[in-house]
Amino acid sequence: MAVLEIEGDTALVSPVRKRRRAGGLFLAAVAWIVLIGLAAALAGVLPIQSPTDLDMLARREPPSAEHWLGTDQLGRDMLARLIYGARISLTVGLLAPVIGVSVGGCLGMLAGYFRGRFETLTVGGVDVLLAFPPLVFALAVTAYLGQSVLNITLVIGVLGIPAFTRVARAVTLSLSEREFVTAARALGATHARILLRELLPNVALPLLAFFLLGVAVSIVVEGALSFLGLGVPPPAPSWGSMIGEGRESLDIAPWLAFLPALFMFLSVLAFNIVGDTLRALTDPRPGTL
Amino acid sequence: MTAPLLSIEGVSVDLPTPRGPLRAVDNVDLSLAPGRTLGVVGESGCGKTMLSRAILQLLPKRARLSGRVMFAGRDLASLPAEALRRLRGPELAVVFQDPMTSLNPVLTVGTQIIETLQAHLGMDAAAAAARGAELLAAVGIPAPAQRLRQYPHQLSGGMRQRVAIAIALSCEPKLLIADEPTTALDVTVQAQILDLLAREQQRRHMAMILITHDLGVVAGRTDEVAVMYAGRIVERAPTLKLFARMRMPYTEALLAAIPKLDSPPHTPLPAIAGRPPDPTRPLAGCSFAPRCRYADGRCRAAKPPLADPERAGTLYACWHPLGVSEAASA
């Protein structure tokens, strides 16, 4: 009996404690995103060193007063490279899901609302895109169109379309069956009005949460592509390429790989936490049953 | 006699199912004059809602509609989509069963009313907001200006249904279809909502179709009642006549199934035994015959037509109507 009571107690207490802890985590995540975002946006005016100036006499130096986070294998300031790297990671990380959410969201909503042949074609197309090996796609695009931030963003964005399409379609499908859509039709609403005013506000919330998860995934994918040498061409720093370059000196200067890895880890974690929290906040909407 | 606002002639609705086509509405004729109310009564699955959707042309895409739905001289079934869309709102409006789902959960009540007014009546935002508040006040919502800024989940079920009614009334429709407007509501709220509908119907002189499974609901609030069973209308009569002299055994059974306040405690409530026939397998005879205590061989062999053999304004589809001797009915 005692065991049962204890279990009952924890069951009663834990949700409260969990929520409070999630609140702190959520704030920390938002703070990290704001910090990184500001640093990246203001990189040009911040009193940091150039991310591309070489100093062959001070290679792989540990953190010091002059180089707060040390220097890399070519003597470039790590802090400056991390901040300029954040620019690329965040640009790609934010823009790629924008492509996904706008194209995928439109396709998914239209497919879920109009059904019929359009839905069959859309779902079929999305399945084809899902089945296509993403790395081959990225290789092909960068090989033919060249390595640039724009091309990387396009590749990752296009690869994200299927997931957004599926989420938007699934949500729209279930919402279209709801009576308020029939009610809007009964009041003479046009298709455009139903899609934009009735369905979009309902679809936007789950899509936004999914968008933030998409940001996290895009940052990782950009890092992976850069690590493989398919990313932004050197000497421009990106977290992924920094990890790739630091890999060569893991034994003598491990921070060269670990620092960008840590930045990426924290950023991805932060976007995931924010996305999850937003989803948890928007999912059990009262009165939607 | 004024020309009917709505007249339905031979309307049938077929739904494809894996077990073959399902005839949800079977050859229904109805007519409704402007400003009058018609009650449509029947148990779950008898085709009431499909009939209302057929009138509104809001049937599921797979459904096939046959027959004519004449509204103000136009056949709705053959009207182009755009003309039909313009009709909805200012001419035809509907109140649905469940106010939990018939309002958009992420838009404020005000947005939903005001946009309807702007779209149909071309009002500017301020005028529409003022009119929206008036409408909410008219349906008995206190502090309407504040309610306009609230979301549906902040309102109770009864309040939500009042909002849904306000939206339906916003464009002064000529015909309001109320599809079980009180089924999802608390009993104490039901009478209020029904009285509200009756009051607004009178005041605006609009025609109303009140769909319900409860004979008690239509008793005091309609001019005419149509009782539906298995997709067909089995009895249709002016309300007073129907309750004074019902002819169809099904109507009698429905009435008997309503609990009465004056019956002694522990009186068993008579239920209608059995269940409605499988609509994918039509019966040769009367579809109520398997559950009817008056049924005989003739009932099982031939479908009785909906007719008025007494010429008294009561139409019924029965070989053995109540209160009529065999000789008279034959």
Residue A147 belongs to a domain with what CATH number? 1.10.3720.10
- In this prediction, residue B38 has a pLDDT band, given cuts at 50, 70 and 90, of very high
**CB-count burial class (<10 Å; 0-12, 13-18, 19+) for B291:** middle
Q: Shortest CB distance from A186 goes to which of B56, B86, B105?
A: B56
Least confident of A64-73, B94-103, B135-144: A64-73
Rounded mean pLDDT of B77-100?
A: 87
Whether residue A11 lies inside any domain: the answer is no
Rounded mean pLDDT of B52-66?
A: 87
Segment A106-137, tens digit of pLDDT: 999 999 998 888 899 999 999 998 888 888 88
- Residue A184 to residue B104, Cβ atoms within 8 A: yes
Taking the model in full, what pTM does it have?
0.77
Q: Shortest CB distance from A186 goes to which of B93, B106, B120?
A: B93
Rounded mean pLDDT of B91-113?
A: 87
Q: Shortest CB distance from B86 goes to which of A180, A188, A197?
A: A188
- In this prediction, residue B327 has a pLDDT band, given cuts at 50, 70 and 90, of very low
Nearest CA in chain A to B116: A187
Rounded mean pLDDT of A71-93?
A: 81
Summary mean pLDDT of chain A = 80
Summary mean pLDDT of chain B = 86
Residue scoring higher pLDDT (A20 or B184): B184
Whether residue A8 lies inside any domain: the answer is no
Whether residue A9 lies inside any domain: the answer is no
Q: Give residue B326's pLDDT.
A: 52
User: Which structural domains are found in chain B, ordered by start?
Assistant: 6-91+173-260+270-329 (3.40.50.300), 101-172 (no CATH)
Minimal CA–CA distance to B203: which of B135, B146, B109, B278?
Answer: B135
Do residues B318 and B286 make contact, with C-beta atoms less than 8 angstroms apart?
Answer: yes
Nearest CA in chain A to B104: A180
Q: Give residue B221's pLDDT.
A: 86
Segment A156-210, tens digit of pLDDT: 999 989 999 999 999 999 888 888 888 888 888 888 888 988 899 888 888 888 8
* CA–CA gap between residue B211 and residue B41 (Å, rounded): 6
- Residue A182 to residue B58, Cβ atoms within 8 A: yes
Whether residue A83 lies inside any domain: the answer is yes
Which percentage of chain A shows pLDDT scores above 70?
Answer: 85
Q: Give residue A7's pLDDT.
A: 45
- In this prediction, residue A12 has a pLDDT band, given cuts at 50, 70 and 90, of very low
Q: Are strands B20-32 and B37-41 parallel, antiparallel or unpaired?
A: unpaired
Range of the domain at A101: 17-282
- In this prediction, residue B328 has a pLDDT band, given cuts at 50, 70 and 90, of very low
Whether residue A12 lies inside any domain: the answer is no
Q: What is the ipTM of this complex?
A: 0.79
Whether residue A34 lies inside any domain: the answer is yes
Q: Shortest CB distance from A183 goes to which of B61, B102, B105?
A: B102
- Residue B103 to residue A182, Cβ atoms within 8 A: no
Q: Give residue B272's pLDDT.
A: 81
Backbone angles phi, psi at B126, to 5 degrees: -65, -45
Which percentage of chain A shows pLDDT scores above 90?
Answer: 13
- Enumerate the residues of chain B whose CB falls inside 8 A of the CB of residue A188: 85-90, 119-120
Whether residue A273 lies inside any domain: the answer is yes
- Enumerate the residues of chain B whose CB falls inside 8 A of the CB of residue A179: 96-98, 101-102
- In this prediction, residue A145 has a pLDDT band, given cuts at 50, 70 and 90, of confident
A84's tokens: 């300029």
- Residue A198 to residue B96, Cβ atoms within 8 A: no
- Enumerate the residues of chain B whose CB falls inside 8 A of the CB of residue A190: 85
Task: Give the closest-approach CA distance of A93 to chain B in angstroms.
Answer: 29
- Residue A186 to residue B100, Cβ atoms within 8 A: no
Whether residue A161 lies inside any domain: the answer is yes
Nearest CA in chain B to A200: B106
* CA–CA gap between residue B283 and residue B301 (Å, rounded): 9
Least confident of A158-162, A231-235, B231-235: A231-235
- Does the pLDDT of residue A9 top 50, yes or no? no
- Does the pLDDT of residue A11 top 70, yes or no? no
Task: Give the closest-approach CA distance of A35 to chain B in angstroms.
Answer: 32
Provide the number of structural domains found in chain A.
1
Rounded mean pLDDT of B110-129?
A: 89
Segment B155-212, tens digit of pLDDT: 888 888 889 999 998 888 999 999 888 887 888 888 888 888 888 898 888 999 999 9
CA distances in angstroms from B204 to A104, B6, B34, listed in the order given? 47, 17, 11
Q: Give residue B258's pLDDT.
A: 80
Structure-token match 């699934």, residue found: A170
- Enumerate the residues of chain B whose CB falls inside 8 A of the CB of residue A186: 56, 58, 88-89, 92-94
Rounded mean pLDDT of B55-74?
A: 87
